Structure formats: C-alpha cells, structure tokens
Amino acid sequence: MQTATTKKFMTLERFINEQERLYADATGEFSGLLHDLSLAAKLVWREVSKAGLVNIIGSTDRMNVSGDMVKKLDEFADETIYKAMDHGGHLCCMASEENEDILHIPDEYPDGKYVLLYDPLDGSSNIDANITIGSIFSIFKRVTKGRKGALEDCLQPGYKQAAAGYIIYGSSTIFVYTAGRGVHGFTLDPSVGEFLLSHENIRIPKKGKIYSMNEGNFCNWSDGMQRYVQHLKTPDKTSGRPYSLRYIGTMVGDAHRTLLYGGIFAYPGDKKNPEGKLRLMYECNPMALIIEQAGGRSSDGTKSILQVQPTSLHQHTPVFMGSEEDVTLCEEFLQGKR
Ligand code: AHM
Ligand code: MG
C-alpha cells in the first residue's frame, strides 16, 4: 500500500492523458479541452486570490482597453474562460451565465465537436467577504452539423453530458471533474502552478447528517418542504437527528461539502419563485452529474436533474442533491408520501 510519502505525484494533465489512453477511440480532443479548462481555472484563481488587494494596490491585471478601470471579477472570469477556450479547436460554441445568447467561436479559429456551458464565478455575492466561490462547467458533444454551433447543441439533457466539473476557490483551490468514470479532485499547488491528484474516485456517503439550504425562505416553501426540514431538526438518536445546518450561499462550496461529507443540498422552488433560483444548464446539471457519478442522487422533486429536458439556456429548476438516502427521504416529503 502506498503511504502519503510514497505516493506518486499525479498532475491533472497526466491523469487526463492516462485516462484517455485507456480508450481506443479517443482522439485526444477531449484531453485538450480539459487542459485548456485547467489553464482557465489557474488564470481565474490568480485574480480571485488578489480580490482583496484591488483597493490597496490600485491595479490588477483586470484592466479595460484604456487600462484604467478594474473589471468586476465575475466579468473577468467570464472573459478569461471564453478566451482560454475559443481557439483550441475543441468547441463549436459556448454559453455562460453572464451572456444572454450562445457564444460563437471567432471565424479565424477552427471549430470542434464539443460544447461548453459555464458559470464563470458562482457565489459572486461572497467575493467581498472573502468567502468561497467557484467556477462550474458542463460539456456536451455537439449534435448539429455545419460550421457553427447552435442553440440546439447547448440544449441537451444533463444525462448526455460528456464531462462536468467545478473549480472551488476556497482555503485551497480544487479542480473536481467527471468524464463518466468516477469523480476526481486535484488540489492546486500554487508554488508550481499544477493541480495535483488529491481526491481520487470520490464517493459520497449513503446518508449524511448535514442539510444545506437557505432556510430564510422557509415561509414560502411548500408544506412538504417545511415538514421535511422540521423532521431533520427533530431529535431522534437512531436516525441521527437533529441534522446540522451548513450554508455558505455558494453552490460550489455547499455542493463540494455535501459531496465529501454527505447530507443534502437543496434550492427548492417556493411561492415567489416556483422554479427556484439555480440554473439548470451550468449550475444544476454539472453538479448533478458529479453527485450521481459519486454514488449520490439528484432530483428536481420528481425525477433526476439529469432527466430534465431543457427549453432555454438560462432556465431555473428546483434542485435537491446529495446522499442517496437523504434525497430519497426529501422526495417522499415533497410528494406527500410522508
Ligand atoms: P450567482 O450565480 O449569482 O452567484 O447565484 C447563485 C448562488 C449559488 O451559488 C447559491 O447556491 C445561491 O445563489 C444562494 O442563493 P441565496 O442567497 O438565495 O441563498
Ligand atoms: Mg451561479
């Protein structure tokens, strides 16, 4: 057995290459796409880690064309990811939370066979408080033919994702992804600028003891949702209640903790917003694939998030995800079976 000191250093790059080598039909295009994404992640991390310095040193790399205005970090992340990905020849189009319409690949660059959807900086309301934020990505194979990608390439159900993942900028920066063969996490070593394998084949516990949701919305929740949370708070030693509440307000952070510790993360629909707050294509789908690949469950209340047929780029969906037993119990309350 390998001990911590005898373990090989496995970089994200080497891991992706080795995974791809296992499959005879692999063209290398997919590996190239993930490499480009890891570069984008490092560029965003570099700026995120300097966020608090903007008012002190007065300048960052985030300048506009006239060189004197610092861009908002979420806009910077949006542009950085687009620019890191637009010329690799792997994508036919992209879509991001920050842009109403799909983003085309500039004419001078070659098109590829994949589509990237991303949330450049999730949890951006937490930036100024120096609280965990993240980037989320979802990758599909294109379905249309022709030179340019189209909306149809983006609007595919989550189960068709070729890969998905997120980068969490927390006490350390971790790149977590799945390409359908397990979930793996890589921690950035800033001194060498490499993501190193730190969480191989992550498995979510079957049941947890943490619930994560904005309970301030309680009064607007459905009767089933209210009863479910009351249930979690009612002491019962044999089933491990009461649960603990943990809520960061950054989906990447809350989902990452849920992945590692188990329990449930939810953003339900409510009386004001029946479809909830979170977006299907670049928040819920990628996280759902990660959680399900790790042995957990995702739900919109009645079916897996991955089965939701999208109708628009920025559509919302209620979301419940986490440990299998916790999500199943939540669904039973939502459906009035309890
Ligand atoms: P954002 O994309 O504007 O950052 O909003 C999404 C965030 C999620 O990360 C998080 O789960 C949710 O909003 C928190 O919302 P609330 O403040 O309503 O609890
Ligand atoms: Mg977001």
Q: What is the pLDDT of residues 221-238, one digit of tens each?
A: 999 999 999 999 999 999
CA of 70 to the centre of ligand 2 (A): 21
pLDDT band at 87 (very low <50, low <70, confident <90, very high): very high
**pLDDT at residue 59, as a whole number:** 42
Tell me which ligand sits closest to the C-alpha of residue 270.
1
Least confident of 125-134, 156-165, 254-263: 125-134
Q: What ligand 1 atom has the least distance to the C-alpha of 278?
A: 6
Q: What ligand 1 atom has the least distance to the C-alpha of 252?
A: 9
- Whether the per-residue pLDDT at 65 is higher than 80: the answer is no
Looking at residues 26-32, what average pLDDT do you find?
77
List, in order, residues 6 or more apart from 279 with CB less than 8 Å away: 97, 119, 314, 315, 316, 317
**pLDDT at residue 58, as a whole number:** 43
Region 210-334: CATH code: 3.40.190.80
Ligand 1 near 126 CB (within 6 A): no
Looking at residues 194-223, what average pLDDT do you find?
97
**pLDDT at residue 64, as a whole number:** 38
Of 72, 122, 248, the residue with max ligand 1 atoms within 8 A of its CB, to mutate for a pocket test, comes to 122
**pLDDT at residue 67, as a whole number:** 42
Tell me which ligand sits closest to the C-alpha of residue 286.
2
Of 169, 214, 215, the residue with max ligand 1 atoms within 8 A of its CB, to mutate for a pocket test, comes to 214
**pLDDT at residue 60, as a whole number:** 47
List, in order, residues 6 or more apart from 321 with CB less than 8 Å away: 255, 258, 264, 265, 266, 284, 287, 288, 291, 296, 297, 298, 299, 305, 327
- Whether the per-residue pLDDT at 246 is higher than 80: the answer is yes
Architecture field, domain 4-199: 2-Layer Sandwich (3.30)
Q: Are 315 and 279 in contact (CB under 8 A)?
A: yes
**pLDDT at residue 9, as a whole number:** 83
Highest mean pLDDT among 30-34, 48-52, 67-71, 213-217: 213-217
CA of 250 to the centre of ligand 1 (A): 6
Catalytic residues: 68, 74, 97-98, 119, 121-122, 283
- Whether the per-residue pLDDT at 7 is higher than 80: the answer is no
Distances (CA, A) of 331 to 76, 150, 184: 38, 35, 28
What are the residue ranges spanned by the domains of the chain? 4-199, 210-334
| Among 277, 216, 224, CA closest to 245 | 216
Q: What is the pLDDT of residues 30-61, one digit of tens each?
A: 889 999 999 999 999 998 888 777 655 444 45
CA of 155 to the centre of ligand 2 (A): 18
Ligand 1 near 123 CB (within 6 A): yes
Q: What is the pLDDT of residues 136-150, one digit of tens each?
A: 999 999 999 988 899
List, in order, residues 6 or more apart from 180 with CB less than 8 Å away: 162, 163, 293
CA of 235 to the centre of ligand 2 (A): 34
**pLDDT at residue 55, as a whole number:** 59
